[in-house]
Each structure stands twice: as structure tokens, then as C-alpha cells.
């Protein structure tokens, strides 16, 4: 167990001239901790800066202590202990590490847990939550982001930066819960270095197994204590049979030299004068999704006659159409420039030769960062004037070309060849506006997270707010999943996180855009809601 001096050594006092300054000191290594090096994709400059979070709303009263106990129990099982570790930086190698206590105790728990009770009021009777927590609407809507009530989502706001983890003995995972008379909100928080969306899918699934009493179903975690030092991305890189060469993505080489300098200068100019980025939630009902799909299909000329002649264009997924639509929305208030649309893709589902069938209820899981990016290049003018289906098809082609096992392996091998300070590379024009879309629908957060065993019997009562939550939702399944950003990262400008579909087929997503862009988006949604296209 750590001594009090170590637990509180995050701040060290030193004397300055005429004032007192404080220097942050990383927590010393504990000799009994197991040390697991971070895999390559877990330790990039961008990933280090991001502290992530996610809210789950349940329209039932839940036993939060039971839910916490199940998560803590999961992190005691086999290789899952890795997720109960502490984030540390190896000064000699410059690499991140997970330091896992040999035994979790009250002083060094597997999970940082807190619980606030509002048992005497409904959730919509809480002034802040009623005013700002996102909810379903009959037409597409822009709603408040987490910044309007972030102080309610964490107990002491002490973990907002990468250094906050290095200079404290807090575990990777934090669970904060809020109980109301008619609902419960669970807030999960972690550094991005821990995992990506599909890793969270595995975490939620196996957490649900333990809560339901099915410890025998818990899937083995790869990359844990028994595999420390073995990076699965090394195996991925071997899938590329071609000799090493300069990587080219969608006809673009990695920006370097003058090109990269110009890109950085434009980016800094936008940061200074382009308006502050504001997080907001975009709720899109199932009926609107159908309208967008029908529009994209018409754009591509899919008709009964073409179908009979088997002259169909590449199949478009909802993800392709949403990415095209969100990219268009992001730039409604922008000038004419090049655009690079970045679609975040999961490696697990595309490299079955290494990962097997993912995601699935059985077999091993990898709770870490295993994503790549597919780049589609266009211009603001083309994005705003071309038919939606045409842009979606362009994105679909880019994804198909850049997610083959060989191409993913080539990207990983190129990643390994670069020094940490240059990772990841940017394959775009020097004047490109970056638009990033990370679609987590495949992670099925609304489906896989099941806390029905924690429902408090007899305490459920319908909400009096008048909000029409989907009646298709099963008890114990989340009715809203909302991302939370606990770190201030300017690179997230024009970025979207698509949380996925709820039980009624409605999409929940969050965007990082300027107020000017949000106003333009609201006008566009108004036209869409009135059937004007």
C-alpha cells in the first residue's frame, strides 16, 4: 500500500522570488506494481492529450454500488487487471506504461468511484440536467453539450490532463454516478491511451457479464500482464508483403517541410481568429435518417430498372451517408478550400486473420487503440454543391481502398518507422480543412451494456417530464449515450463522434464546431425537418 507521502506527491512546493510556485512531480514507481508497456497506437502525441468520457442514461433506478462492484470485480479477473493500472511515463524510453498494483485495496482501488443521490426529485426536475441533458425530439435538433454541466459529471475535476494521471495515483477508469427518483446516469472516464470505441464495447459487454453473475462468460483480454512487451501492431505490419516504401494515401504523401509549415500556420490562424469550438449534441430521428438514405439512393440513380440490369453502384452504408452529411454540415459557414474527410476505422473487424470475429460475445478481446484513418479528399465547393449520394460514394470508395489488410499493414509499418514526435502523419494538401468522423455504431453501446440486474425493484416510476423516450428500449439498457470530453484539444475542431442508434433507430452524435457553424446547421436542420432539400 502506498504511503501518504507518495499519494500526495502530485504537487511539490518550491520557493520563488517574492512568491511561491508549484512544480508537478510524477508519482514514484511502486516496486510491487506490474509494469505493462503501452502498445504503439496507445502512445501517440495526439492520444496522450485526450481524456475521454461517456454518459449513459437509464430510465430506471439502479443500485450504483452493485454496478461499481461488478466493474471492480471484472478488473480483478486475469488480464483484465491491466485496466486497473496507473498511467506512467518511462523517462528512459519516453514511452507510456501501465503500472498495475499487485493487489487492489481501498487505498489503491481498481476504479475511482463516486455517487451522488437525488432520490427526492425526477431527473427533469433538476434545473441543470433538465436544461442541458440531451433528449429525443421528433425532428433533428442541436442540443446542449457537456460543457454546460460538466461539473455535475465528475466529483472533483482533478483529471483533465495527461499530467493529472502521471502526477496522481488515480486508476485509469473513473465511474461517477447520479441517482434520481426516475432515472440514473453513469459517467465513465478514462485516458484515450487506454482504449478506443471497440475496446469500450468489450469492456461494457464483460462488465455486463459480471453484473449478471456470468463470470464464466468473461472473455480473455489480450495485451495484458502475460503479453506485456508484445505489440499486436507488430504482427499487423507483417501482413504487408511489399518492400518498404513511402506511404501514399489517396494520392497524397505525408505532409512535410514547407507544406506542413503552411498547414500549421493556417491551423494556428483558424485557432486564433476562426471562433471558439463548442461541443453540442446532434439528435437525428430514425425518420430523418430514412430521408437522408432515400436522398443518397436517388442521387446515385438506383431505380427498379437499374436493379434489374444489375448496374448498382457500390452499396452505401448509413455510416457513409452520415459521414458525407456531417462533413457538409461542418463546412456550411466555411470559405473555399480543400477538404480532407477522415473516417476512423477499426482494425479488428478488418483483420480477421489476427483478431478473429470481432466484435463477438466469445473469444479474446483487445481493449486498446486499434484504429486507422481512411482519407477522402474534396473541396468545400464540391462538398456543398455535389449530391449527397455522390459524396457518400466517394467516401465509401476511400474506405474500401484504404482498409484492405495489406493497406492497413502498410500504414502501421509506416507508423512504426516514424519517430514518436512525428506520429501520426498527415496525408492531405497544405490548405486542407480536416473533418473527422468517428462512427461508433458498430460498438453497439445501446445494445451491449446491460445493467438490468442492478434495477432497484419497486422503485421504477414513469417520468413526468413529457419527453417521449423510445418505448422499444428494454429495461436496464441505456436510452441515451452521450460523449464527454474532459480535455481541451484544439485538434478536435470539425470533428464528430457518432454514438450510434438507440432502440428506436434514432442516431445520437456530438460535434465540435464553432457557434457560427452551429447556427448554419440549425438552419439546415430546419429545412430538412420541413422537407426542403
**Quick one: DSSP state of residue 475?**
T
User: In angstroms, rounded to a whole number, what is the distance separating the alpha carbons of residues 68 and 287?
Assistant: 37
8-22, 158-172, 265-279, range with the lowest pLDDT: 8-22
Q: Which residues contact 523 (CB under 8 A, 6 or more apart)?
A: none
For residue 420, what pLDDT is reported?
57
Q: What is the pLDDT of residue 306?
A: 46
Least Cα distance to 159 among 212, 218, 87 occurs for 87
Q: Give the pLDDT score at 106.
A: 94
Once rounded to an integer, what is the mean pLDDT over residues 389-396? 94
Give the SS3 label for residue 483. Answer: strand
Residue 185: band (very low, low, confident or very high) from pLDDT cuts 50, 70, 90: very high
Asked if 415 contacts 424 with a C-beta cutoff of 8 angstroms, the reply is yes
Mean pLDDT over 7-27 rounds to 47
Mode of pairing for the β-strands spanning 51-58 and 86-89: unpaired
- pLDDT given for residue 313 in this prediction: 53
Arithmetic mean of pLDDT, 239-268:
80
> How many Å from the N-terminal Cα to the C-terminal Cα in the chain?
63
Give the model's pLDDT for residue 257: 87
Exactly one of 135, 192, 201, 377 is catalytic; name it.
192
The pLDDT, as a whole number, for residue 355 is 93
Three-state SS string across 170-196, please? Answer: CCCCEEEEEEECCCEEEEEEEECCCCC
pLDDT at residue 459 greater than cutoff 60: no
More confident of the two residues 441 and 247:
441
Residue 311: pLDDT over 80? no
Mean of per-residue pLDDT scores for the chain: 86
Low-confidence winner among 52-61, 84-93, 421-430, 481-490 (lowest mean pLDDT): 421-430
Question: Which residue do the cell numbers 483484465 mark?
Answer: 80
How large is the average pLDDT for residues 229-255?
Answer: 77
Q: Give the separation between CA 193 and CA 188, rounded to whole angstroms.
A: 15
Mean pLDDT of 485-507: 88
**316: pLDDT strictly greater than 90:** no
All structural domains of the chain, each given as residue ranges with its CATH number in brackets, are 30-227 (3.30.559.10)
Residue 65: the pLDDT is: 97
Confidence bin at 467 (pLDDT 50/70/90): confident
Which one of 48-57, 126-135, 201-210, 422-431 scores highest in mean pLDDT?
201-210
Lowest mean pLDDT among 356-370, 372-386, 518-532: 518-532
Look at residue 418 in the predicted model and tell me its pLDDT: 66
The pLDDT of residue 309: 46
Per-residue pLDDT at 19 = 42
pLDDT at 197: 94
SS3 (DSSP) at 253: strand
H helix runs in 187-246, sequence order: 197-211, 232-237
- The larger pLDDT score, comparing residue 431 to residue 457, is at 431
247 has pLDDT over 80:
no
pLDDT per position as a tens digit, 114-135: 999 998 999 999 999 999 999 9
Least confident among 203-212, 250-259, 387-396: 250-259
Q: What is the pLDDT of residue 460?
A: 53
For residue 51, give every residue at least 6 positions away whose Cβ sits within 8 Å of its Cβ, in sequence order, or none.
Answer: 159, 160, 161, 162, 164, 189, 190, 191, 192, 485, 486, 487
Phi-psi region of 48 (alpha: psi -120 to 50; beta: other; left: phi over 0): alpha
192 annotated active-site: yes
Above 50 in pLDDT, residue 428? yes
What pLDDT is stored for residue 20 in this prediction? 44
pLDDT category, 368, cuts 50, 70, 90? very high
> Residue 121 in contact with residue 497, Cβ under 8 Å?
no
Amino acid at each position: 500500500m502506498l504511503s501518504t507521502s507518495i499519494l500526495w506527491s502530485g504537487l511539490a512546493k518550491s520557493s520563488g522570488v517574492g512568491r511561491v510556485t508549484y512544480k508537478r512531480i510524477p508519482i514514484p514507481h511502486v516496486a510491487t506494481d506490474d509494469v505493462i508497456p503501452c502498445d504503439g497506437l496507445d502512445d501517440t502525441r495526439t492520444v496522450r492529450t485526450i481524456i475521454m468520457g461517456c454518459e449513459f442514461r437509464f430510465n430506471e433506478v439502479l443500485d450504483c454500488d452493485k454496478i461499481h462492484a461488478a466493474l471492480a470485480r471484472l478488473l480483478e479477473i486475469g488480464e483484465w487487471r491491466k485496466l486497473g493500472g496507473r498511467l506512467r511515463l518511462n523517462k528512459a524510453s519516453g514511452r507510456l506504461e501501465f503500472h498495475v498494483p499487485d493487489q487492489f485495496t481501498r487505498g489503491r482501488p481498481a476504479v475511482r468511484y463516486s455517487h451522488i443521490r437525488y432520490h427526492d426529485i425526477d431527473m427533469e426536475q433538476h434545473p441543470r440536467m433538465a436544461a442541458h441533458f440531451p433528449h429525443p425530439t421528433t425532428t433533428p435538433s442541436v442540443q446542449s453539450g457537456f460543457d454546460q454541466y460538466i461539473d455535475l459529471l465528475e466529483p472533483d475535476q482533478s483529471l483533465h490532463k495527461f499530467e493529472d494521471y502521471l502526477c496522481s495515483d488515480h486508476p485509469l477508469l473513473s465511474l461517477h454516478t447520479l441517482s434520481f427518483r426516475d432515472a440514473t446516469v453513469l459517467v465513465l472516464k478514462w485516458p484515450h491511451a487506454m482504449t478506443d470505441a471497440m475496446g469500450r464495447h468489450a469492456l461494457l459487454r464483460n462488465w455486463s457479464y459480471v453484473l449478471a453473475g456470468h463470470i464464466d462468460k468473461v472473455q480473455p483480454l489480450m495485451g495484458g500482464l502475460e503479453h506485456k512487451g508484445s505489440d499486436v501492431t507488430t504482427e499487423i505490419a507483417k501482413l504487408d508483403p511489399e518492400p518498404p516504401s513511402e506511404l501514399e494515401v489517396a494520392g497524397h504523401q505525408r505532409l512535410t517541410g514547407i507544406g506542413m509549415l503552411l498547414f500549421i500556420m493556417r491551423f494556428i490562424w483558424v485557432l486564433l481568429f476562426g471562433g471558439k469550438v463548442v461541443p453540442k449534441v446532434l439528435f437525428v430521428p430514425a425518420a430523418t435518417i430514412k430521408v437522408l438514405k432515400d436522398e443518397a439512393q436517388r442521387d446515385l440513380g438506383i431505380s427498379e430498372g437499374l436493379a434489374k440490369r444489375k448496374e448498382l453502384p457500390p452499396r452505401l452504408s448509413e455510416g457513409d451517408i452520415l459521414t458525407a452529411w456531417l462533413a457538409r454540415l461542418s463546412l456550411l459557414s466555411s470559405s473555399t478550400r480543400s477538404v480532407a474527410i477522415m473516417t476512423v476505422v477499426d482494425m479488428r473487424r478488418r483483420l480477421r486473420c489476427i483478431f478473429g470475429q470481432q466484435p463477438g460475445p466469445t473469444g479474446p478481446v483487445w481493449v486498446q487503440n486499434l484504429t486507422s484513418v481512411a482519407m477522402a479528399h474534396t473541396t468545400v465547393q464540391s462538398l456543398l454543391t455535389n449530391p449527397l449520394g455522390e459524396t457518400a460514394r466517394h467516401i465509401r470508395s476511400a474506405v474500401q481502398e484504404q482498409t484492405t489488410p495489406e493497406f492497413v499493414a502498410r500504414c502501421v509499418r509506416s507508423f512504426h518507422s516514424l519517430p514518436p514526435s512525428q506520429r501520426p502523419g498527415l496525408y492531405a494538401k497544405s490548405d486542407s480543412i480536416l473533418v473527422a468522423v468517428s462512427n461508433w455504431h458498430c460498438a453497439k453501446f445501446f445494445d451491449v451494456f446491460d445493467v438490468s440486474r442492478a434495477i432497484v425493484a419497486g422503485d421504477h416510476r414513469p417520468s413526468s417530464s413529457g419527453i417521449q423516450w423510445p418505448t422499444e428500449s428494454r429495461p436496464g439498457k441505456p436510452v441515451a449515450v452521450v460523449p464527454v470530453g474532459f480535455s481541451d484539444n484544439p485538434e478536435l475542431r470539425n470533428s464528430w463522434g457518432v454514438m450510434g442508434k438507440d432502440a428506436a433507430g434514432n442516431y445520437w452524435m456530438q460535434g465540435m464546431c464553432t457557434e457560427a457553424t452551429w447556427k448554419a446547421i440549425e438552419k439546415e436542420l430546419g429545412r430538412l425537418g420541413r422537407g426542403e432539400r
